[in-house]
Structure 1
Amino acid sequence: MSSLSIVIPAYNEAGAIGTVLERVLALGPAFREVGLEEWEVIVVDDGSRDRTAEEAASYPGVRLIRHPVNRGYGAALKTGFAHARGEWLAFLDADATYPPEALPMLYQIAQSTAADLVVGSRMSGRDSEMPTVRRVGNWIFAALLRVLGSAAISDSASGMRVLRRSALERLYPLPDGLNFTPAMSARAVYENIRMVEVPIPYRERMGQSKLHPLRDGLRFLHAIVWTVMTYNPVRVLGLTGFGLGMIGLALAGSAVLWPGSTGWPFPRLFAAVILMALGLHLFAVGALFNYLVSLFHKRPIRQGLFGRPLLRRPLEQCFLPMGLLGIALGIALYGWATLAGLTAPSSPAPWFVPAVSALAVVMGVDLITAGLLVRALSELSRRELQIQRDLAPDPTATAPTARPVIEAPTPLSS
């Protein structure tokens, strides 16, 4: 029989906690309708300085756990999860913004879809009183996670969820602050957690909000980007490098189309070359990081930059020839410029071609080094699988025919 633990983190919510608990405690009939007979309510008072703990303690059947000092939203949730008895875990805020009446529906959807995590989405078209600044911020974070994680998520920071307890081991570690939920969403994407979003209404909170848009927005951004970096670094570094390369190409195009009255704008062209080289370098570093994190996670290498493999051939087979080509182009460019007199002191920019050729050679060496490291890491990532394959018996091999054992005759005693 399934059981559910509802965890409510609370910090200075004396004015709203009573309303929330009354609505949660009235859910018994609705839970029984969806087949849930065992459920409990846990309030984690996170070092409140008002009467939040006393209000929660006045409701029979509510388990109250207190932090002596304020440790953060995520820390309160983790404390509640550690003390929960249910096979399923649910949580919502204590400020009356989320509708407790939606919990039976979220639980039922988790059961019917075999999901590990069901998220109440405030951004999916249902009635919402979310302030504009927070709505825009949530849209940005959801879009960022869609780009970096290739997951169609509408509300990465929702504070109302139902999840399977067994999924915690794959979702942890999670931060202690308000960035707990976006970090959970990002980890769920990369840990292949079965996640479902359900539209829910959202109301303006009772009392003063504890969310600081700029400070907590930066924390949300850090939680998403850093989580992606620990699973698929090339998505972050590669997209950054791709953006720099596009800026470099645009700068080079502007220099060719609109050179100005002074002739070739060599500084602008050199800046374009630098940006394109930096973009290629970031992609190479991201690919190396991908092999490192995949070696740690013991999972297949992620090469996707736009949700699918970027290169048809393995990276170790592409970096080496690209590096050799870069070195050859750098040397050839310098030789041609010398023969053409472009490096002479009387030329308009004698420094330009030598600088570009040197940069091409350096990038070529960089790519060759990256290719060698990627090849070594690729072999290391396949080593454990290869060991298992070598130790396993060959199913296609024919077993040798057993020969009768002939015992030597016992020698006669003299």
Structure 2
Amino acid sequence: MHPFNKLSIVIPAYNEGPTIHLILDRIAEVKLLNDIQKEIIIVNDCSKDNTEEAILKYKADNPGLNIQYYKHEVNQGKGAALHTGIKKATGDYTVIQDADLEYDPEEFNDLIKPILKGHADVVFGSRFLGGNAHRILFFWHSLGNKMLTMASNMFTNLNLTDMETCYKLFRTPVIQNIELKEKRFGFEPEVTAKIARVKDVRIYEVGISYYGRTYAEGKKINWKDGFRAIYCIIKYNIFSR
């Protein structure tokens, strides 16, 4: 079993000024199993609102939290922000956390359990395997996610139920050794394709809750990203191996 003393939490942020403090509060409140320490890495992808001011104020008001802040001078996309955050991670394991309130950091411990038991190197949090609560929103989004997951599984030979999930926990050296290229929401199919090819990697999946947002509440992914995901599934499983 690999050491697990610190968890790096990578948060890509774009125009999340009104709510970024709320997700940071929730992360701060979580007590991780085995007294694992938290490293919070926020990457501001050239937000147009007060995201930077909100983050810097929170960081100044909470000196006891290990918050690392980085920003892009030009907007590059969620995937690009994740690339930056992953490279900066110093924890034994790294998890992705959206800056909004769709995913609950209390469930970090559910992701961690297969690691601590010595079973896994990578853990996906599935919105379709259970969890405590699921907001009822978009049928076509749900169907689209399941179809993209099935298409991804056909190429990777994995049996995931939620490839598009935000919650992905990686052993840090594993994810840092993968060359990632997708700068927007294509990150999910790309990283899944490339993780699946890592020799002897052990991938697990656990059920998580999901508190989805409407577009009026700030949801950013759209139908164009779905077509990009299909392209990425084909590209990174067949043409770019």
Q: So what's the TM-score if we normalise by structure 1?
A: 0.52
How far apart are the structure 2 equivalents of 1:91 and 1:169?
13
Q: Does 1:200 align with 2:170?
A: no
Q: Is the CA contact (8 Å cut-off) linking 1:110 and 1:162 kept in structure 2?
A: no
Which has the higher mean CA deviation after the structures are superposed, 194-203 or 60-69?
60-69
Q: Give CA deviations for 1:82-122 in whole Å, capped at 9, x if unaligned.
A: 22221211111111101111112212322214312111111
Counterpart code for 1:223: C
Task: Give the Å deviation of 1:170.
Answer: 4.8
Match of residue 171 from structure 2: 164
1:128 aligns with one of 131, 134, 137: 134
Match of residue 34 from structure 2: 35
1:178 aligns with one of 179, 185, 196: 185
Counterpart code for 1:74: G
Match of residue 118 from structure 1: 123
2:220 aligns with one of 207, 210, 233: 210
Alignment length (residue pairs):
227
Which has the higher mean CA deviation after the structures are superposed, 198-207 or 175-184?
198-207
Match of residue 72 from structure 1: 77
Q: Which structure would you say has the larger Rg? A: 1
Q: Give CA deviations for 1:329-353 in whole Å, capped at 9, x if unaligned.
A: xxxxxxxxxxxxxxxxxxxxxxxxx
Match of residue 260 from structure 1: none
CA RMSD of aligned residues (A): 1.8
Q: Does 1:6 align with 2:9?
A: yes
Q: Is the CA contact (8 Å cut-off) linking 1:75 and 1:177 kept in structure 2?
A: yes
Q: Does the residue aligned with 1:35 lie in a helix, a strand or coil? A: helix
Q: Is the CA contact (8 Å cut-off) linking 1:53 and 1:64 kept in structure 2?
A: no
Query: Superposition pairs for residues 245-256 of structure 1, below 5 Å?
Result: none
Match of residue 152 from structure 2: 145
How far apart are the structure 2 equivalents of 1:73 and 1:121?
20
Greater helix fraction, Structure 1 or Structure 2: 1
Identity between Structure 1 and Structure 2 (%): 29
Counterpart code for 1:55: A
Unaligned residue ranges in structure 1 (runs of 5+): 232-292, 294-414
Q: Does the residue aligned with 1:50 lie in a helix, a strand or coil? A: coil
Match of residue 222 from structure 1: 231
Q: Does the residue aligned with 1:13 lie in a helix, a strand or coil? A: coil
Which gives a bigger RCO, structure 1 or 2 (Cα 8 Å, sep 6+)?
A: 2
Counterpart code for 2:220: K
How far apart are the structure 2 equivalents of 1:187 and 1:124?
23
Q: Is the CA contact (8 Å cut-off) linking 1:157 and 1:185 kept in structure 2?
A: no
Q: So what's the TM-score if we normalise by structure 2?
A: 0.87
Greater strand fraction, Structure 1 or Structure 2: 2
Q: Does 1:96 align with 2:101?
A: yes
